[in-house]
A and B are shown apart, each in its own frame.
Chain A
């Protein structure tokens, strides 16, 4: 039990620092990907997928360092 408790603690600490970055990557990355898919016919290619999630990650990092909590 203490091990689970410690792991949960570490996880929560990680999220409190990096939650916005994960949110940018997953949430905004998915939205950017969906928008690109609608805009471009061949958007299912890996390049577009990579680009969308990279944009999401950049937004998440900017949010973390600039305090843009509005992204979540």
Chain B
């Protein structure tokens, strides 16, 4: 694979691009399984420690906010089948780990999977992209707010979901299956709050709202903001002065939209190999991308 670190290809055809991309697909992404189960365990432990008065509530709030911000990515990996890779007998890992990981966010894995796959199919389409309302905004704070508002009365997301439910039976089935988990989370919060009101507010409600805002900005707005539709045009490579870890490596989200089957943790080496193709296809900012992506903080794109 290291031969691909500084590639010089003569053939930059789509076929060759796919051939190179395929060499990075199919691995079971064990790192995401660890993160998913690790963060939900840390979240539950935080609850136990706060309720048992072993740590103060403010410390629990701080820890919970950090662990909750790690809750989505493992589900996202599960949505794309990365957690099982090409091991068909372990496909259950995708939904089981994906759902467990989403407990701090009180979200349904199936609902997020259904809407996220539509986001991939219709990225930046104002009528069909479920993420459009918090992606195509003028300021980061609008993304942070809109991501919480879009399912409200006359919310555009509701209309998009209704439309896909009529057109796509698989989407409808996933939404119905996921709807039960959403209800379960609604009840769970209403029950837990009766016994631990302030704890539920500071260890669950606020952290998941903060994490959702963070996701709206970093996962949706930054990579797609004001870009057109089109496989090689809809996602940019970007930087915001913060190291990659704090951005969940979303600076290189363009790789994910190019080949969603490539694991999150394999994207840096895939980009190093596919960079000539990305430049040829004019993926936004691919021309200023550094040669070395692995262990690169990407504080700015040109370092």
Do they bind each other?
A: yes
Chain B contacts for A31, CB-based, 8 A: 193, 197-198, 200-201
Chain A contacts for B152, CB-based, 8 A: 66-70
**Majority SS at the chain B contact face:** helix
Distance between A65 CB and nearest chain B CB, rounded to angstroms:
8
Chain A contacts for B151, CB-based, 8 A: 69
- CB within 8 Å of A: which of B50-85? none
Kindly report which residue of chain A lies nearest to residue B209, judged by CB atoms: A70
- In Å, the complex CA distance between A47 and B120 comes to 52
Chain A contacts for B186, CB-based, 8 A: 15, 19, 23, 72
Tell me which of B148, B153, B194, B209 contacts A30 (CB under 8 A): B194
- In Å, the complex CA distance between A35 and B197 comes to 9
0 or 1 for each of B144-179: is its CB under 8 Å from A? (1 = yes): 000011011111000000000000000000000000
Chain B contacts for A69, CB-based, 8 A: 148-149, 151-152, 155
A58 within 8 Å of B (CB atoms): no
Distance between A37 CB and nearest chain B CB, rounded to angstroms:
9
Distance between A55 CB and nearest chain B CB, rounded to angstroms:
13
- CB within 8 Å of A: which of B245-302? none
Chain B contacts for A34, CB-based, 8 A: 197-198, 201
**Majority SS at the chain A contact face:** helix
Q: Quick one: given A12-B183, A23-B186, are A67 and B155 in contact (CB under 8 Å)?
A: yes
A22 within 8 Å of B (CB atoms): yes
A26 within 8 Å of B (CB atoms): yes
Chain A contacts for B197, CB-based, 8 A: 30-31, 33-34
- In Å, the complex CA distance between A68 and B155 comes to 10
Q: Is B190 within 8 A of A70, CB to CB?
A: no
- CB within 8 Å of A: which of B98-135? none
Q: Is A23 within 8 A of B201, CB to CB?
A: no
Q: Is A26 within 8 A of B190, CB to CB?
A: yes
Query: Could you list 13 further interchain pairs (A-B, Cβ under 8 angstroms) beyond the known A26-B193, A34-B201?
Result: A12-B183, A22-B190, A26-B194, A27-B189, A27-B193, A31-B198, A31-B201, A33-B197, A34-B197, A65-B153, A66-B152, A69-B152, A70-B149
**19 intermolecular pairs with C-beta atoms under 8 Å apart:** A15-B183, A15-B186, A19-B183, A22-B190, A23-B190, A26-B193, A30-B200, A31-B193, A31-B197, A31-B201, A33-B197, A35-B198, A65-B153, A67-B149, A67-B152, A67-B155, A69-B151, A69-B152, A70-B148
